[in-house]
Amino acid sequence: MFQNIEYRIDGAVAYILHARPEARNAESRTLLDELDAALAKAVEDSTVRVIVIGGQGDHFSAGHDLKEAERERQDFTVEQRWAYEEQRYFDYALRIWDCPKPTIARVQGACIAGGFMVANMCDLVVASDDAFFCDPVTRTMSAAAVEVLIHPWVMGMRRAKEFLYTGERMPAAEAHAIGMVNHVYPRADLDAQTHALAEKIAAAPPFAVKLVKRSLNRTFDAQGFRTALSAHFDAHQLSHVSDEFARMRGDGLSGAIGRGKS
């Protein structure tokens, strides 16, 4: 059924895994569409109580598939880019956040940009000790971060500013120390420990969990969460028409990668 994700059920736990390990699980159009469809499938399955989102191989995800974007969307109009990103980045991400069932991101290796966005829309994040988080989009792509600015909500404002201004990697240990990650385990133990946590949550009364999740999410809503995310999405789109962004596009993907290494 799916080409770019793996979907499987283990007891009361549904696993939705990025399945492009040869491309560091870069999020292609197909992968994002399938992830959204798999999420809906898990929600509809009455036997599923917890959903784990992860990645096959060495990495969670290296983010948006930039090679595909350069090949297929280089000549998009402003309107076309806006529509594409609103659907596949903004709306899909919010559906993870609003999922009525508990979600866990299982992160190993790289969790970058769009991958960071997907992982941090989950209720909980469990990481391997060699995992790292990064959003280099402002520094390398001359764009205003990724499309969903979840960052200050999960790591605090000052750390989010440094994280985005510098584009530096945050190791799993630091992410845990600041509360962005719930647990860190050795890579060899990550799968088993994540499943154990999922089973523990699955044992709780599902309707009560659904309601408490809704209440917790509405706590952020009362603080302006959705308004802030929507405002940033508009700002992100505006950054696509800047002179800086035009110069970046002229340099191509190799130029962006070079800036990330500088």
82-111 confidence digits (pLDDT tens)? 999 999 999 999 999 999 999 999 999 999
For residue 210, what are the CA distances in angstroms to 15, 89, 157, 245, 260? 19, 24, 28, 42, 40
Percent of the chain residues topping a pLDDT of 90: 81
Contacts of 63 (CB under 8 A, 6+ apart): 26, 27, 112, 113, 114, 115, 116, 146
118-163 confidence digits (pLDDT tens)? 999 999 999 999 999 999 999 887 787 889 999 999 999 999 999 9
Long-range own/partner contacts, residues 212-216 (CB < 8 A, 24 or more apart): 213/100, 213/102, 213/123, 214/100
d(CA 122, CA 111): 13
d(CA 91, CA 254): 29
Task: Please give the average per-residue pLDDT across 195-215, as a whole number.
Answer: 99
23-55 confidence digits (pLDDT tens)? 999 999 999 999 999 999 999 999 999 999 999
Residue 183: pLDDT band (50, 70, 90) is very high
d(CA 123, CA 105): 8
Contacts of 109 (CB under 8 A, 6+ apart): 24, 55, 57, 58, 59, 60, 128, 130, 131, 132
Residue 257: pLDDT band (50, 70, 90) is low
68-83 confidence digits (pLDDT tens)? 987 888 888 889 989 9
Domains of the chain plus CATH, in order, are 5-188+226-261 (3.90.226.10)
pLDDT for the residue numbered 89: 95
Q: Are 136 and 113 in contact (CB under 8 A)?
A: yes
Instruction: Tell me which residue of 239, 249, 15 sits closest to 145, measured CA to CA.
Output: 239
- The pTM assigned to this predicted structure is 0.94
Is pLDDT at 256 greater than 90 in this prediction? Answer: no
d(CA 93, CA 63): 13
